[in-house]
Each structure stands twice: as structure tokens, then as C-alpha cells.
Amino acid sequence: MRFLALQAPLPIVASPQMTSMTINGEAVRFTLDPATPLLWALRDAANLTGAKYGCDSGECGACTVIVDERAVPSCTMSIGSLEGADIITIEGLAPNRAHPVQQAWAAEQVSQCGYCEPGLILAIAAMLRANPRPSEAEIMALTNICRCGIGPRAEKAIARASMELTGGDSLDLLARKNATPQTVPEAPKRFSNGSSGEAQIPPQ
Ligand code: FES
Ligand code: FES
């Protein structure tokens, strides 16, 4: 059991109380104001900085962690509401980054600036845990926002991870992408700015 308090007090700290939960398989007890957002408890008290601060309103997904097998925005959850919860952050998803989503991320060279990626990887991992062969609608329902445009590569990583998890054939999504070059531009995805993320080379 680890006992954790904020290293630098938040301005809103009121009456600290004990809140116990499991984080990445380890029993943890926070001595903090129960209203403290999980994001700040993770980052400032537990020194788990993989979850990122973005919108602070549950919209962008940068702070996503897995709570009791569901991907949730940690900025919107108070630790007081998480007594006894089982939490997984990007640091604890798998030893040596061996989770199928992390392996697929590397194989498809998804990474760009990285800010959105811990949250997006955890959202995908939770989705595939619930359904290893997600529909395109389920994939499009991911609400994480990326400003760099990794969406198309992330989709390929989802398909690759799904194949790894199921041992099956490719998802329809991957089959379509590999079949023929697309002639019709795709509608912008929620977790993509619609760009390929590649530099535009002017004609010679
Ligand atoms: S910082 Fe939590 S959803 Fe944006
Ligand atoms: S990789 Fe930069 S915000 Fe997503």
C-alpha cells in the first residue's frame, strides 16, 4: 500500500481524506481533498504523468485512463467517487509496452507529437477488451481529439491489434484501406484533423 499526498498543494485543497484504490495493480491510498480530480492525483501525487491535461472538461480525451475496464476522462472524476476502483494508466497497461495496441502503434508508426496518444491508446485498449472485433461505428465513436492527424494510422493500428487479439482475418476497415487507393476524401474523424500528418511537397 502506498500513501500519497500532493507534492504541491492545489489551491482548492479543503479537508484531506483517505481514498483507497488500485492503480496499475498496486494498492494506493490518497490523502487528499475527495474533490481532487483523478487526473491531478495521478500526475501530482502518484507521479504518473502519462495522462495529459487538455480541455479539463471531458471533451478531448488526453487525460483518458481505464477505470473498472471503462475508458474515462480522468479530469472529470473526483477521487472521492473512486473508492475501491481499479485504475489502469498508460504506465501500467502492459510490461515493456507489450500490449497489442502498443505493438501495433509501433508497427504502423502511428506516433507524432504524442500528446494525445496515451489517452487514445487506452481508449482503444478498452474498446478492444470489450469487443476485439469492433465495428467501424465503434471505432468512429472514439472521441479522442488529435491535432496532429494520426487518425488514419491509428485506424490501421486498431485493425492490426484486432487481428493480433483474435488471430483472425483482417477487419473490413483494414481490407478497404489496403485494397485500392482512395479517390474520395474521407470525412474528418473526431480523433483526427483530417490531414495525413505527412509534409506537403510542392510540385516541381
Ligand atoms: S483534459 Fe480531460 S478530456 Fe480533455
Ligand atoms: S499525436 Fe499530436 S496531438 Fe495527437
The ligand 1 atom nearest the CA atom of 74: 2
Tell whether 173 and 103 lie within a shared domain. Answer: yes
Inside any domain, residue 2: yes
CATH number at residue 151: 1.10.150.120
Cα 102 from Cα 182, distance rounded (Å): 27
- Ligand 2 binding site (Cβ under 6 Å of any ligand atom): 112-117, 146-148, 150
Inside any domain, residue 187: no
**What residue numbers bound the domain in which 46 lies?**
1-92
CATH number at residue 15: 3.10.20.30
Q: Is 60 in the pocket of ligand 1 (CB under 6 A)?
A: yes
Taking the CA of 114 as reference, the closest ligand is 2
Residue type, 114: G
Per residue in 101-130, pLDDT tens?
999 999 999 999 999 999 999 999 999 999
Domain total in the chain: 2
Tell whether 6 and 76 lie within a shared domain. Answer: yes
Q: What is the pTM of this model?
A: 0.81
Q: Which cell is 184 given?
A: 474520395
**Residue ending a domain, choose from 42, 74, 92:** 92
41 and 81 in contact (C-beta within 8 Å)?
no
Least trusted range by pLDDT, from 93-102, 154-163, 190-199: 190-199
Least trusted range by pLDDT, from 38-52, 78-92, 99-113, 160-174: 160-174
Q: Residue 168: what pLDDT?
A: 73
Cα 179 from Cα 189, distance rounded (Å): 21
The ligand 1 atom nearest the CA atom of 61: 3
Q: For residue 52, report the distance from its CA to the centre of ligand 1, in Å.
A: 8
